[in-house]
């Protein structure tokens, strides 16, 4: 039998430095145990084999400067060859970089591309970006977008910037605005949906989110931008960042997003397919947040994709 090529045979105690302070424990472990599947990392956490300062800690625990992490011995099989996107797809993603500086990057993410690999996907946006920028030591997603959603995706090029931006998100300092097309008419020019959301799993294993009094607080404001006969173009502003939040809150209003196969209206979706809508009409339109070191505010907008723009023209 071939010997594993990537082994961690001994218990290790790793002290967290200032550069990695603020990182989630699960992400820290994935970096330390390169090649380890996520399922293994979460099993180590669940069974208490990983300790922080001699005590159990959850995956979401954010490490502090000076914390000591106990990492148990594990043995891994030889890693599989990394599958990279084809060159045309890399070129397409390169063309969709709408901002880049020494500390951060903003991508106008295409619809249909996941933000990271896994669950049967060999690569996502972040793996493709690492292939495009192999010289950058740290390239990390600041937040996520659903696979079907296009628009502004923020990527940090330095750990210090990642910590700062995560702090902005935790303190509600990052403004996120989306463009969406609702089935039906929004009854007011501006409408705040304040409805707690809870994740559920169906028997099939599919993840679904529902409005639930026992869920996490969730707030979305919908602003009417343009009214059509049977649809409303809205700007949706997130005040919290729950999974599928805009999609579920829109459905909760009785005005689901058009093109939404999970929470949407089949009849309305079929009608819009006749006008060329073949995807979820949800686009991360704009980001705004404060930069560190009193460097002012950062604002950026991602233009609406041409296929969505064409649908609006046909509706008009």
**Residue 146 known to be catalytic:** yes
**Which phi and psi angles does 131 have, rounded to 5°?**
-70, -35
Q: How far apart are the first and last CA of the chain?
A: 66
Give the orientation angle of helix 25-32 with respect to helix 38-46, to 10 degrees: 120
Q: One of 26, 146, 265, 305 is an active-site residue; which one?
A: 146
Question: How far is CA 269 from each of CA 181, 255, 264, rounded to the nearest angstrom?
Answer: 11, 12, 7
Nearest to 82 by CA among 33, 31, 36, 131: 131
Q: Calculate the CA dihedral of residues 251, 200, 122, 278 and round it to 10 degrees.
A: -20
Question: How far is CA 178 from each of CA 16, 34, 111, 145, 187, rounded to the nearest angstrom?
Answer: 37, 35, 14, 11, 19
Residues recognised as catalytic:
146
């Amino acid at each position: 039998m071939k010997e594993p090529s990537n082994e961690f045979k001994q218990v290790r105690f790793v002290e967290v430095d200032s550069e990695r302070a603020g990182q989630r424990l699960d992400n820290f472990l994935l970096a330390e145990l390169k090649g380890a599947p996520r399922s293994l990392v979460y099993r180590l956490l669940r069974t208490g084999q990983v300790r922080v300062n001699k005590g159990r800690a959850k995956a979401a625990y954010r490490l502090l400067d000076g914390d000591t992490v106990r990492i148990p011995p594990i043995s891994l099989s030889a890693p599989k060859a990394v599958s990279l996107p084809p060159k045309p797809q890399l070129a397409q993603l390169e063309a969709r970089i709408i901002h880049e500086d020494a500390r951060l990057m903003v991508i106008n993410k295409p619809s249909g591309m996941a933000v990271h690999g896994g669950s049967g996907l060999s690569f996502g946006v972040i793996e493709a970006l690492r292939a495009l920028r192999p010289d950058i030591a740290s390239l990390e997603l600041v937040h996520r977008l659903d696979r079907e959603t296009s628009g502004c995706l923020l990527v940090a090029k330095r750990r210090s910037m990642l910590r700062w931006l995560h702090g902005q998100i935790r303190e509600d300092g990052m403004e996120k605005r989306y463009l969406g097309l609702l089935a039906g008419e929004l009854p007011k020019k501006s409408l705040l949906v304040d409805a707690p959301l809870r994740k559920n799993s169906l028997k099939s294993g599919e993840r679904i989110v529902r409005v639930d009094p026992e869920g996490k607080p969730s707030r979305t404001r919908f602003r009417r931008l343009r009214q059509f006969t049977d649809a409303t173009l809205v700007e949706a502003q997130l005040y919290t960042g729950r999974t599928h939040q805009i999609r579920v809150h829109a459905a909760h209003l009785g005005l689901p997003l058009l093109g939404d196969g999970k929470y949407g209206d089949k009849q309305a979706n079929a009608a819009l397919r006749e006008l060329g809508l073949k995807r979820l009409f949800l686009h991360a339109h704009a980001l705004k947040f404060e930069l560190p070191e009193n460097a002012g505010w950062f604002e950026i907008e991602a233009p609406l994709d041409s296929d969505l723009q064409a649908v609006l023209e046909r509706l008009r």
